[in-house]
């Protein structure tokens, strides 16, 4: 009886299927005149009942059955199949050409697989160690450079002006990269966010490309204790709530929070703004 | 059930479901039980035959030795045809007997049975009464077959004359199907049919 068609990769051609068992031909034989091919076990069983070809009913006897042509045998050999142990749930999971099935041994195959994987793993570990070394060297060089820059900035006023200018431009670039946000419910503002919430917002800011020299200052300004006089208490917020609409807000990506940056909000009253900007976290109501 | 039989039937079932005959509504196949030993087939009566427009249900039993032996198939829907028993639904078709070949499938067998409805073979009958009528009074055979198709297989052609005759015998206290069989057998002559029923 033939091989279960489900064990083979992809579609198996109709010509390679036994018309009796509907499996893939196993040890096939063919009828002499019409050349219809069947599994040896299937056609033997059929001829013992009725000496005809099961497809066209031409007379055939067991002794007239012939092996199939080489080309058909080769096509069958080339089909890729799962190993014999697979249907029992304990196969090695590998797919192998059918003609190698007879010599196939799951344990040997899997050992070979493990050996190659282990070799690769060792290689990667070596590579990783080398990369770490390089990274550490780079870090040291970077620290040295920073130190050098700081020293230049302190000793040379022209350099200081240049560095400040560069930092400001970086903030503007970042601010322009963020999308505008609209606050629909100012009442949803959380004026005293806890530590966990703050960390979450900080991570999001960092991922959005917030320049490192302002991120800590910005995060300080997410709590009412650091907000400007016009926002510092519930009462002043109530009094100034009409001013909110003047704010140009930027979305903190993926969060119910907005940035009100100094560089975007030069037009706002001084008692409503602080350097380098405000972070306002909301329970809901951000679009 | 032998592994090979189940494997074959599963594959054939898929083949029929995907076939264009099913898409065109000419044949149908359904499972009756989980073990794949029994199925229910349905064929549509061919056009230009008395069976046109009828839907005929077939009982299909798959033997353990399938496909080395043919499936056992009979009509569940009553039918008036020389090669189908009007009593049991047994079918006289060579490929279901000695001409069975292992490469035949449920799809080809259902199509062969459908073809048998188009071309009755009265010289190799399963029902001698029907075959006799077929040979001696072909027009009456056709009307009777059309009447049976209308009553049992939902065919569209109502034959009022036959319905009235059946009703007259039913009024005498005879079961409707027995009345129809008697009338069909005696060429719709009420006297001979009643004589036979009451003798």
Catalytic residue among B9, B73, B92, B96: B92
Would the pLDDT of B21 be above 80?
no
Predicted local confidence at residue A263, as pLDDT: 85
Using 50, 70 and 90 to split pLDDT, how confident is the model at A250? very high
With CB atoms and an 8 Å threshold, state whether A1 touches B103.
Answer: no
Would the pLDDT of B6 be above 90?
no
Interface pTM, i.e. ipTM: 0.76
Mean pLDDT of A130-142: 96
Mean pLDDT of A31-57: 90
Residue bearing the bigger pLDDT, B78 or A154: B78
Using 50, 70 and 90 to split pLDDT, how confident is the model at A94? low
A22 part of contact set with chain B, CB < 8 Å? yes
Using 50, 70 and 90 to split pLDDT, how confident is the model at B11? confident
Task: Respond yes or no: is residue B189 known to be catalytic.
Answer: no
Render pLDDT for A37-47 as a digit per residue (tens, 0 to 9).
999 999 999 99
Would the pLDDT of B158 be above 60?
yes
Burial (CB count <10 Å: 0-12, 13-18, 19+), residue A238 = exposed
If you average pLDDT over every residue of chain A, what do you get? 86
Cβ–Cβ under 8 Å, residues B134 and B122: yes
- Per DSSP, the residues of B9-43 read HHHHHHHHHHSHHHHTTSEEEEE-STTSSEEEEEE
With CB atoms and an 8 Å threshold, state whether A19 touches B102.
Answer: yes
Would the pLDDT of B92 be above 60?
yes
A41 part of contact set with chain B, CB < 8 Å? no
Alpha carbon distance A97, A79 (integer Å): 6
Would the pLDDT of B75 be above 90?
yes
Mean pLDDT of B44-53: 92
Predicted local confidence at residue B131, as pLDDT: 92
Predicted local confidence at residue A1, as pLDDT: 74
Alpha carbon distance A103, A100 (integer Å): 6
Would the pLDDT of A98 be above 80?
no
d(CA A74, nearest CA chain B) in Å: 24
Predicted local confidence at residue B178, as pLDDT: 92
Contacts of A53 in chain B (CB under 8 A): 101
Q: Locate the domains of chain A by residue range.
A: 5-102, 108-155, 178-282
Cβ–Cβ under 8 Å, residues A181 and A251: yes
Alpha carbon distance A228, A220 (integer Å): 12
8-state DSSP, B64? T
Using 50, 70 and 90 to split pLDDT, how confident is the model at B132? very high
Cβ–Cβ under 8 Å, residues B117 and B9: no
Mean pLDDT of B156-165: 91
A4 part of contact set with chain B, CB < 8 Å? yes
Predicted local confidence at residue B1, as pLDDT: 52
Predicted local confidence at residue B69, as pLDDT: 92
Please give the CATH number for the structural domain made up of A5-102. 3.30.40.10
Mean pLDDT of A237-248: 87
Predicted local confidence at residue A173, as pLDDT: 92
- State the CATH architecture for B3-118: Roll (3.10)
Cβ–Cβ under 8 Å, residues A249 and A180: yes
Render pLDDT for A183-196 as a digit per residue (tens, 0 to 9).
888 888 898 899 99
Using 50, 70 and 90 to split pLDDT, how confident is the model at B116? very high
With CB atoms and an 8 Å threshold, state whether B8 touches A22.
Answer: yes
What is the helix (H) or strand (E) element at residue A189, kind and residue range?
strand A189-190
With CB atoms and an 8 Å threshold, state whether B101 touches A53.
Answer: yes
Residue corresponding to tokens 């930092």:
A167
If you average pLDDT over every residue of chain B, what do you get? 90
Q: Locate the domains of chain B by residue range.
A: 3-118, 128-198
**Which residue of B14, B102, B109 to mutate against A (max A Cβ within 10 Å)?**
B102
With CB atoms and an 8 Å threshold, state whether A22 touches B99.
Answer: no
Would the pLDDT of A281 be above 80?
yes
**Which residue of B2, B3, B4, B106 to mutate against A (max A Cβ within 10 Å)?**
B4
**Which residue of A7, A15, A18, A21 to mutate against B (max B Cβ within 10 Å)?**
A21
What percent of chain A lies above the pLDDT cut of 70? 93
Using 50, 70 and 90 to split pLDDT, how confident is the model at B55? very high
């Amino acid at each position: 009886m033939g091989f279960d068609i489900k064990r083979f990769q992809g579609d198996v051609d109709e010509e390679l299927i036994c018309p009796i068992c509907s499996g893939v031909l196993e040890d096939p034989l063919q009828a002499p005149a019409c050349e219809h091919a069947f599994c040896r076990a299937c056609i033997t069983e059929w001829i013992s009942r009725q000496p005809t070809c099961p497809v066209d009913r031409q007379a055939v006897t067991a002794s007239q059955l012939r092996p199939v042509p080489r080309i058909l045998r080769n096509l069958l050999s080339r089909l890729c199949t799962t190993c014999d142990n697979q249907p029992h749930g304990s196969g090695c999971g590998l797919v192998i050409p059918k003609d190698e099935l007879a010599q196939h041994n799951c344990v040997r195959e899997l050992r070979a697989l493990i050996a190659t994987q282990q070799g690769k793993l060792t290689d990667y570990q070596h590579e990783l160690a080398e990369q770490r070394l390089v990274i550490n060297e780079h870090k040291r060089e970077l620290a040295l450079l920073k130190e050098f820059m700081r020293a230049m900035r302190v000793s040379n006023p022209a350099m200081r002006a240049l560095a400040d200018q560069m930092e400001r431009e970086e903030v503007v670039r970042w601010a322009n990269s963020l999308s505008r946000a609209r606050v629909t419910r100012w009442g949803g503002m959380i004026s005293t966010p806890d530590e966990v919430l703050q960390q979450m917002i900080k991570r999001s800011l960092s991922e959005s490309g917030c320049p490192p020299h302002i991120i800590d200052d910005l995060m300080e300004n997410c709590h009412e204790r650091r907000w400007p006089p016009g926002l510092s208490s519930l009462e002043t917020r109530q009094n100034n709530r009409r001013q909110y609409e003047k704010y140009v807000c930027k979305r903190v990506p993926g969060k119910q929070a907005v940035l009100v940056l100094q560089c975007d909000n030069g037009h706002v009253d001084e008692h409503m703004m602080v350097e380098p900007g405000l972070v306002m976290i909301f329970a809901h109501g951000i679009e | 059930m032998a592994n090979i039989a189940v494997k074959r039937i599963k594959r054939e079932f898929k083949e029929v479901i995907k076939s264009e005959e099913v898409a065109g509504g000419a044949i149908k196949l359904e499972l009756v039980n989980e073990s794949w030993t029994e199925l229910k087939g349905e064929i549509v009566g061919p056009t230009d035959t008395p069976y046109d427009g009828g839907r005929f249900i077939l009982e299909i039993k798959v033997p353990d030795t399938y496909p080395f032996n043919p499936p056992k198939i009979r009509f569940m829907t009553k039918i008036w045809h020389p090669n189908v028993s009007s009593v049991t639904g047994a079918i006289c078709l060579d490929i279901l007997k000695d001409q069975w070949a292992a490469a035949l499938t449920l799809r080809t067998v259902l199509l062969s049975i459908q073809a048998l409805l188009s071309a009755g073979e009265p010289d190799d009958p399963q029902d001698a009464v029907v075959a006799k009528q077929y040979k001696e009074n072909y027009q009456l055979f056709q009307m009777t077959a059309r009447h049976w198709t209308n009553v049992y297989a939902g065919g569209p052609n109502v034959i009022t004359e036959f319905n009235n005759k059946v009703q007259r015998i039913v009024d005498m206290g005879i079961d409707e199907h027995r009345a129809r069989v008697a009338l069909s057998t005696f060429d719709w002559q009420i006297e001979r049919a009643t004589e036979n029923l009451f003798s």
